[in-house]
Structure 1
Amino acid sequence: METVLSKHSAPLVLKGVQKKEEEELLGQATIWKLMLSFMDSFALKAAVELRIADIIDHHGRPISLQTILNNISDAPSPDISFLHRVMRHLVRKNIFSSQQSELNDTLYDLTPASKWLLRDSKSTLAPMILLENHPLHLDPSHYLSHSIREGTKNGSAFFKCHGHEQFDLTGLDPEFNKLFNEGMACTARIVSKAVTSGYKEGFKKIQSLVDVGGGIGGSLSGIVRAYPLIKGINFDLPHVVATAPKYDGITHVGGNMFQSIPKADAVYMKWILHDWSDQECVQILKNCRKAIPEKTGKVIIVDHVLHPQGNGIFEDTGFAFDMMLLTHNGGGKERTEEDWKKLFQQAGFLRYNIININAFPSNIIEAFPI
């Protein structure tokens, strides 16, 4: 039997084997790949913690393994062989690139992917990588089967793991709260740029906009910068807005979206409704409806629309996020268009519109009272 594995991510080609054996081998390979895929994320985390992308970017050219090692701070006894193995893995995953120098030394450079690891860049996913790989965030995943067996009657998997629900824990643990807010803020900057680019007409007639669950104001600040005539209201839990920086044109308001929402021409929500059950989402949407004008108001939702048979570049990410929500937020989930339609009908919104944007989550969903 001849087995040929082409470079990097090309498919495995099996020759000289029966179809049944080939199917078994490919099935085995699929399970191994999924089983160990968590190491991809841990390798990303290591690269962020060691600031490898920043080191390469600072030099402005491809550099050797030894140069990377020499620039890693707080490394009392660095191991170049360990670094080599991590870099080899990340090169295979196209996070970094490698090439041979004239002296036959391997030099490493950035790729379009590794530029998203830069800690000091405005367009970075580094804080989100640190959040997603933190033990407090990871450990509830071990309770996934418990969620299937027991549902959420006795709390989410996150609660079973930590004794607190996720959003309660952010109020009790300042370090986790900071990590969570920084993760949300970095995605907010990326998404805000995609929203202001892909939704230009949508903001033009809005004079006041309330960002429900706006965190420390990252999303709203990007919108108000692009549309300075908008009066922004950043609305979140009191302990969240207490740490929010000052932004021109934005007022921070603490409160509870399940009770009431500040009045405005429009409501903006990024990655909020996917955290909650259908019943809770309907309650939030009803409060949104009360906060906006009946005839001219609208709710602007930035969330993902799942396509079970889709093949978009963020489709797999949407399904992976759905698995995470299953353990972190009890009733939280990613939704199909039909799921969104049902929510709007139950909350009293007669029309909706879906717009694609170039980011994850990759959709803007407009909901109108009339």
Structure 2
Amino acid sequence: MASSINGRKPSEIFKAQTLLYKHIYAFIDSMCLKWTVEMNIPNIIHDHGKPITLSNLVSVLQVPSSKSGNVRRLMRYLAHNGFFEIATNGEIENEEEAYALTVASELLVKGSDICLAPMVECALDPTLSGSFHDLKKWIYEEDITLFAVTLGFGFWDFLDKNPDYNRSFNEAMASDSKMINLALRDCGFVFQELESIVDIGGGTGTTAKIICETFPNLKCIVLDRPQVVENLSDTNNLSFVGGDMFTFIPNADAVLLKWILHDWTDEDCIKILKKCKQAVTSDGKTGKVIVIDMVINEKKDEKNITQMKLVMDVNMASVNGKERNEKEWKKLFVEGGFQDYKISPLTGFLSLIEIYP
């Protein structure tokens, strides 16, 4: 007699097993993605100018012929997940498989205008991604980040102590900024009538430079950690300031917080917002704060968008940050001393929030 779980049908149990196994081996998705970036495969296909056959790819990669089948299995899996397209080349005997780029793998072509390969390399560094093996230990610890459980100190201290990873992190953030810049091109209304803006945590100025080019009369200031901006040069309407946003934010008509607040606890976010309010209300002015971040909306978002946002929420455990829904955002704004806000869509999973004193 077949066993059952609480009277479940065998088909239900098998479906549940599939779900379990999918998540057990989900790490392979990330590792395959890391492999294709490390092997520079998107660039190889791009430079080839047309779909590349398996035999040609193996030749370019200079891997042993005995590993040809393994290259094929990795490419087949990546194609199944939307990173490549498999085509057949009628001009080649037996119609050998050939691989073409998709929109997703086009985003991994190094040297292109928009490239997220640095994000892959940074996020999947084993020193940090390995921290998620310690979720159980972290959940019992008081007031300590997941990274601190594994590394012995917090993420920002880790960056200060590891120049190579700090450089990798800045490159990753700059690559992501180019995606946001693509969205901001249609959001000129946000920056109109402003004379000055401070980009908090603006890194090497990728976003600020786009804003400056679009609005040449707008004065932009990038505030970031001293070691990030110390060797960067000012231009006519762009300047870099090293400092701590918890201590001081330069006065301006607006403050931009792009993917900043999700890094911090509610208490820290309120401190940051209060400093922002001081900066945009100086000299009797009434400016605004521009927040670019996620707004979780499980009722309205598509399932895959919600899944992305919830994955990022778990990811923010690494620094004791969080992703928030509108109710949680509103609470922060009110406690930070702001009276009103407006949420607008920006990218597939990011929103643009304007908040007013």
> Partner of 1:335 in structure 2?
324
Change (3 A) 1:325 1:348: same
Query: Could you tell me the TM-score, scaled by structure 1's length?
Result: 0.89
Compute the TM-score of the two structures, normalised by the length of structure 2.
Answer: 0.92
1:105 aligns with 2:96: yes
User: Of residues 211, 214, 217 in structure 1, which corresponds to 2:199?
Assistant: 211
Question: Offset of 1:295 from its aligned partner?
Answer: 4.6
Residue 136 of structure 1 pairs with residue 124 of structure 2: no
Within the alignment, does 1:306 sit opposite 2:296 as a pair? yes
Contact kept in structure 2, 1:224 and 1:231, CA below 8 Å: yes
Q: Distance in 2 between matches of 1:25 and 1:222?
A: 52
Q: How does 1:292-303 map to 2 (within 5 A)?
A: 292-293=280-281, 295-303=285-293
What is the identity percentage for the equivalent residue pairs of Structure 1 and Structure 2?
A: 35
Q: 1:248 to 1:181 in 2, by over 3 A?
A: farther
Residue 121 of structure 1: how far off its partner (Å): 1.2
Distance 1:115 1:249 in 2: 33
By how many angstroms is 1:224 displaced?
A: 1.5
The reply on whether 1:53 has 2:42 as its aligned counterpart is yes
Q: Is the 8 A contact 2:255 2:280 kept in 1?
A: yes
Tell me which residue corresponds to 1:116: 107
Q: Residues of 2 paired with 1:31 and 1:245: CA distance?
A: 52
Corresponding residue for 1:86?
A: 74
CA distance in 2, matches of 1:248, 1:366: 27
Residue identity matched to 2:24: M
Q: Displacement of 1:157 after TM fit? A: 1.4
TM-aligned CA distance change 1:88 to 1:258, over 3 Å: same
1:127 aligned counterpart, secondary structure: helix
Gaps of 5+ in 2: 1-6
Aligned to 2:173: 184
Contact 2:233/2:239 (<8 A) preserved? no
SS in 2 for 1:233: strand
Q: CA deviation at 1:315?
A: 2.2
1:175-231 deviation line (CA, Å, top 9, x unaligned): 10011001100001111220231x221101111110011111112112222222211
What is the alpha-carbon distance in structure 1 between the residues aligned to residue 52 and residue 234 of structure 2? 40
Q: Distance in 2 between matches of 1:133 and 1:267?
A: 31
Q: Is the 8 A contact 1:158 1:166 kept in 2?
A: yes
3-state DSSP class of the match of 2:103?
A: coil
Structure 2 counterpart of 1:363: 351
Alpha-carbon offset, residue 248 of structure 1: 5.5
For residues 312 and 43 of structure 2, the distance between their equivalents in structure 1, rounded to whole angstroms, comes to 27
Which sits farther off after the overlay, 110-119 or 283-292?
110-119
Find runs of 4+ consecutive structure 1 residues off by over 6 angstroms. none
Aligned length, in residue pairs: 344
Which structure 1 segments of 5+ residues have no match?
1-17
Matched, 1:276 2:264: yes
Find the partner of 2:162 among 165, 173, 176. Answer: 173
- Measured in 1, the distance between the counterparts of 2:252 and 2:285 equals 13
1:324 corresponds, among 296, 315, 324, to 315
User: What is the root-mean-square deviation of aligned Cα atoms in Å?
Assistant: 1.7
- More off after superposition, 305-314 vs 212-221: 305-314
Find out whether 1:25 has 2:14 as its counterpart: yes
> Is the Cα contact below 8 Å between 1:215 and 1:244 reproduced in 2?
no
Q: Which amino acid aligns with 1:303?
A: D
Q: Deviations over 1:280-322 (max 9, x none)?
A: 0000000000001355300000000011334335322111111
Aligned partner of residue 257 in structure 1, secondary structure: coil
